[in-house]
């Protein structure tokens, strides 16, 4: 494929990556896409015989995902499983599942390209005429997102959880996350702990939250399932015209987990009056109306597969996942911002503060205490 990408797009997309996949035509534009905190994502437009084609190229952050081949193997197998089920329901698979593009060199399991500097990339067909919300605007949209998660978990309920690689071990193991946090505050490598004493105390005083779901997994009341593990609203694609949910994207953390992690993480992000990184905490509130809308949608699909313990723990899971994420943001801030992408110096601290505000609100609302 002929191109002058070195000159035009070199800073965004190396030329060998641009030509590394079995895409149609010649690239005409490359733009950054999305709001993810981990991978770098680009929208790539190509032209062939007067037609335009749209792709998403992503550079996988191997600081976070240390097993990119296993990750891509998980993602492709889960996507194929969902595609079969979606086709059986008579739904349009090309809008409701992601189509990954093969790497031209066929290496790394087929769908990953390793560039000349050793970075791993993948590419897929962009699903057009869709929207992604950074915040809930209408309870009805969030209810639809809940339906989508219920359908996702149901479709994967016959996918053997032990057939997937745990690409980030202990991803939602809050006890292990708490251990990481304690190590970070003990090391305090940037001397930032002193300025966030109240936030550190907030985390430490809630240690007993950490094992509550894990204990119920150990007792067998909460089953291990195939779960998405990163269900925030901006990982949900909706049809721009009908408003219907098309699919959950960002399957990088699809792994064995608990349905509670997916439910709680959705509430953490969506049942809030403000953005995850809002700096004015007076604008940040838990919104019960959104919580119930999501719960209604989710249970309309998932109730039939959930155990009593899972349903009982839905409110607590919302607190737990919000607490865990706040602890991760705060830990990353104190550690020197090595994990989550930031666009201002206190970004991770601001994110942690919104999470703790939401935890406090939910504790009051649900009457749950540490």
Residues that bind Mg ion (CB under 5 A): 36, 235, 250
User: At CA 54, angle to CA 48 and CA 60, rounded to 5?
Assistant: 125
Interface mask toward ligand GN1 for 192-231; x: CB under 6 A: --------------------------------------x-
Give the C-alpha separation, 81 to 96, whole Å: 12
For residue 123, what is the enclosing H or E element?
strand 120-125
What one-character-per-residue DSSP string does 171-186 give? TT-HHHHHHHHHHHHH
Interface mask toward ligand GN1 for 272-311; x: CB under 6 A: ----x-----------------------------------
Choice from 33, 43, 64, 309 touching ligand GN1 (CB under 6 A): 64
State the minimum distance, in angstroms, from the CB of residue 132 to ligand GN1: 11
Give the C-alpha separation, 288 to 272, whole Å: 9
State the minimum distance, in angstroms, from the CB of residue 142 to ligand GN1: 17
Interface mask toward ligand GN1 for 112-141; x: CB under 6 A: ------------------------------
> Where does residue 296 fall: left (phi above 0), alpha (psi -120 to 50 degrees), or beta otherwise?
alpha
| Residue with the CB atom nearest Mg ion in the bound state | 250
Residue with tokens 């790539």: 44
State the minimum distance, in angstroms, from the CB of residue 362 to ligand GN1: 16
Q: Please say whether the dihedral angle defined by the alpha carbons of residues 303, 308, 314 and 317, taken in this order, is positive or negative.
A: negative
DSSP 3-state assignment of 21?
strand
48 closest CA partner among 6, 14, 1: 1
Choice from 5, 15, 30, 36 touching ligand GN1 (CB under 6 A): 36
**Residue numbers at the binding site for ligand GN1 (CB under 6 A):** 36-38, 64, 230, 232, 235, 250, 253, 276, 325
């Amino acid at each position: 494929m002929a191109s002058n990408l070195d000159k035009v797009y070199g800073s965004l997309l190396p030329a060998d990556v641009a030509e590394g996949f079995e895409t149609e035509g010649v690239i005409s534009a490359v733009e950054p896409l999305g709001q993810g905190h981990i991978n770098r994502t680009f929208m790539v437009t190509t032209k062939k015989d007067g037609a335009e084609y749209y792709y998403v190229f992503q550079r996988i952050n191997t600081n976070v995902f240390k097993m990119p081949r296993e990750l891509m193997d998980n993602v492709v197998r889960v996507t194929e499983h969902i595609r079969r089920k979606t086709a059986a329901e008579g739904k349009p698979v090309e809008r409701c599942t992601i189509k990954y593009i093969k790497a031209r060199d066929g290496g790394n399991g087929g769908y990953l390209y390793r560039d000349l500097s050793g970075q791993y990339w993948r590419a897929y067909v962009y699903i057009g005429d869709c929207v992604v919300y950074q915040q809930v605007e209408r309870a009805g949209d969030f209810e639809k997102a809940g339906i989508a998660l219920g359908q996702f978990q149901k479709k994967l309920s016959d996918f053997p959880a032990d057939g997937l690689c745990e690409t980030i071990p202990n991803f939602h193991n809050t006890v292990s996350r708490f251990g990481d946090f304690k190590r970070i505050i003990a090391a305090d490598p940037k001397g930032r702990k002193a300025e966030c004493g109240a936030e550190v105390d907030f985390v430490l005083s809630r240690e007993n939250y950490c094992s509550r779901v894990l204990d119920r997994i150990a007792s067998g009341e909460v089953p291990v399932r195939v779960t998405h593990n990163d269900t925030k609203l901006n990982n949900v694609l909706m049809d721009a015209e009908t408003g219907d949910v098309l699919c959950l994207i960002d399957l990088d953390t699809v792994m064995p987990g608990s349905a509670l992690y997916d439910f709680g993480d959705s509430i953490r992000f969506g049942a809030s009056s403000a953005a995850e990184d809002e700096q004015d905490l007076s604008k940040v509130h838990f919104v019960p109306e959104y919580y119930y809308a999501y719960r209604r949608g989710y249970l309309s699909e998932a109730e039939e597969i959930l155990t009593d313990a899972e349903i009982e723990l839905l409110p607590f899971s919302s607190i737990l996942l919000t607490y865990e994420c706040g602890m991760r943001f705060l830990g990353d801030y104190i550690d020197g911002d090595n994990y989550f992408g930031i666009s201002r110096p206190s970004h991770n601290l601001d994110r942690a503060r919104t999470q703790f505000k939401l935890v406090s609100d939910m504790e009051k609302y649900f009457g749950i205490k540490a």
